[in-house]
Amino acid sequence: MQRECKKVVFLYSHREDWGIWDGVAEYASLYGRWLLYSPLSLRFEADDRETYRWLTNFKPDGIIVPNSRKNLEDILKFKIPIIVHRNLKQRIPGRPAILGDGNRIGAMAADYLIKLGFKNFACYVCENEIPMQERAESFTHCVNQAGFKTYPFLRKGVRNLISWNRQLDLLANWLKSIPKPAAIMAGDDILAVNILMACRLAGLLIPQQIAVLGINNTRIICETQIPKISSVALSYYKAGFEAAQLLDKMMDGTVAAAEQTVLIEPTNIITRQSTDFSLIKDYEVGKAMNYIHHNSVKLLQVSDVAEQTGLSKNALQKRFKKAVGCSVSQEIRRACADKIAEMLLNSNMSISDIARSIGFSGDDHISRYFRQSVGMTPLDYRKKYGKK
pLDDT, tens digit, for every residue of 356-375? 999 998 899 999 999 998 88
Instruction: Give the pLDDT confidence score for residue 143 in this predicted structure.
Output: 96
Long-range contacts of 162-170 (CB under 8 A, 24+ apart): 167/194, 168/194, 168/197, 168/198, 168/201, 169/201
Instruction: Give the pLDDT confidence score for residue 388 in this predicted structure.
Output: 61
Residue 13 has pLDDT above 90, yes or no: no
Residue 193 has pLDDT above 90, yes or no: yes
Q: Are strands 149-155 and 210-216 parallel, antiparallel or unpaired?
A: unpaired
Instruction: Give the pLDDT confidence score for residue 277 in this predicted structure.
Output: 63
Residue 1 has pLDDT above 50, yes or no: no
Report DSSP state, residue 157: P
Residue 336 has pLDDT above 70, yes or no: yes
Which of 202 and 69 is assigned the larger pLDDT?
A: 202
Q: Are strands 149-155 and 120-126 parallel, antiparallel or unpaired?
A: parallel
Residues near 185 by beta carbon (within 8 Å), at least 6 away in sequence: 106, 109, 110, 113, 121, 122, 123, 124, 135, 136, 139, 213, 215
pLDDT band at 307 (very low <50, low <70, confident <90, very high): very high
Query: For 141, left (φ over 0), alpha (ψ -120 to 50), or beta?
Result: alpha
Report DSSP state, residue 188: S
Residue 40 has pLDDT above 70, yes or no: no
DSSP per residue over 67-117, as a string?
Answer: TT-TTHHHHTTSSS-EEEE-SSSPPPTTS-EEEE-HHHHHHHHHHHHHHTT
Residue 340 has pLDDT above 70, yes or no: yes
Alpha carbons 385 and 364: distance in angstroms, whole number: 21
pLDDT, tens digit, for every residue of 245-284? 999 999 988 876 677 899 999 999 998 889 876 556 788 8
Q: Are strands 261-264 and 97-100 parallel, antiparallel or unpaired?
A: parallel
Question: What is the average pLDDT across 133-141?
Answer: 95
What are φ and ψ of residue 262, in 5° steps?
A: -110, 120
- Name the E strands within 181-240: 182-186, 210-216, 230-234
Question: What is the average pLDDT across 318-342?
Answer: 87
Which of 5 and 256 is assigned the larger pLDDT?
A: 5
Threshold 0.85, pTM exceeds: no
pLDDT band at 58 (very low <50, low <70, confident <90, very high): confident
All domains of the chain in start order, with CATH: 6-101+236-266 (3.40.50.2300), 102-233 (3.40.50.2300), 283-385 (1.10.10.60)
Question: What is the average pLDDT across 83-108?
Answer: 88
Instruction: Give the pLDDT confidence score for residue 293 in this predicted structure.
Output: 80
Question: What is the average pLDDT across 213-242?
Answer: 92
Closest to 334 (Cα-Cα) out of 370, 287, 298, 380: 370
pLDDT band at 46 (very low <50, low <70, confident <90, very high): low
Alpha carbons 26 and 8: distance in angstroms, whole number: 13
Alpha carbons 304 and 284: distance in angstroms, whole number: 13
Instruction: Give the pLDDT confidence score for residue 365 in this predicted structure.
Output: 93
